[in-house]
């Protein structure tokens, strides 16, 4: 995406977009670069971390021999690959170059609504991934020590795993929501504040 900062520095807003005037551009320019640029950067960083985990989990998938471990770890690897694809989809869909036939307000409204929906979808999907990740982690030592029969012989193992699901799944969900807000939410809020100020200008 073309950095909005470059457009602002050129001061060419009015000639390029409806409602794209210098004052509105300056509202977005709270730091040395735009919140839209920072959103894209943080999503890309998120994808890099996801790629690192994908490589690590793929390594475990190869070196640890166990059918059920590989089933759960395989699902986890696919989930991370899907996450990388989804990040790329978000960037291409919402953080694209500003269309020349849209107003600044329409573009920013589309961006904020879409990004909020995307992150809510990620958080809800993760609720199904956390138990799979915990199960895969639980199976690593038992698979390596060839003790999977303990699942059928020791009900306590199942009870412990269920307790982990109940305790850590909501904790991980709220941690994910907090990290999303920290990495992305504040920039979406900055963009929303620009929309609100444009509304105030139009109403006055």
Q: How many CA atoms lie within 13 A of 48 on its CB side?
A: 6
Residue 54: strand, helix, or coil: helix
- Whole-structure pTM over 0.85, yes or no? no
Q: Cβ(27)–Cβ(197) under 8 Å?
A: yes
Nearest to 33 by CA among 154, 160, 190: 190
Contact 114, 93 (CB under 8 A): yes
pLDDT digits over 23-73, tens only?
Answer: 555 445 444 467 888 888 899 999 999 999 999 999 999 998 888 889 999
Q: Where are the domains of the chain?
A: 31-203
Measured distance CA(99)–CA(101) in Å, rounded: 5
Average pLDDT score over residue span 151-175: 86
- Looking at every residue in the chain, the average pLDDT score rounds to 80
pLDDT higher at 8 or 74: 74
């Amino acid at each position: 995406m073309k950095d909005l900062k470059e457009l602002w520095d050129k001061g060419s807003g009015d000639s390029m977009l409806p409602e794209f005037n210098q004052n509105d551009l300056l509202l977005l320019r709270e730091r040395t670069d735009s919140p839209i640029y920072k959103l894209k950067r943080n999503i890309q960083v998120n994808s890099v971390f996801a790629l690192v985990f994908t490589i690590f989990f793929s390594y475990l998938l190869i070196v640890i021999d166990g059918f059920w471990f590989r089933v759960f770890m395989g699902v986890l690897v696919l989930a991370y690959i899907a996450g990388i694809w989804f990040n790329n989809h978000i960037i291409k869909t919402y953080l694209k170059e500003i269309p020349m036939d849209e107003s600044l307000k329409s573009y920013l409204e589309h961006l904020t609504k879409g990004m909020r929906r995307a992150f809510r979808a990620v958080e809800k999907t993760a609720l199904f991934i956390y138990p799979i990740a915990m199960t895969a982690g639980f199976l690593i030592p038992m698979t390596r020590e060839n003790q999977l029969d303990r699942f059928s012989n020791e009900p306590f193992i199942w009870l412990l795993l269920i307790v982990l699901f109940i305790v850590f799944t909501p904790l991980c969900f709220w941690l994910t929501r907090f990290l999303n807000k920290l990495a992305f939410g504040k920039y979406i809020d900055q963009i929303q504040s620009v929309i609100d100020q444009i509304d105030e200008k139009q109403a006055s």
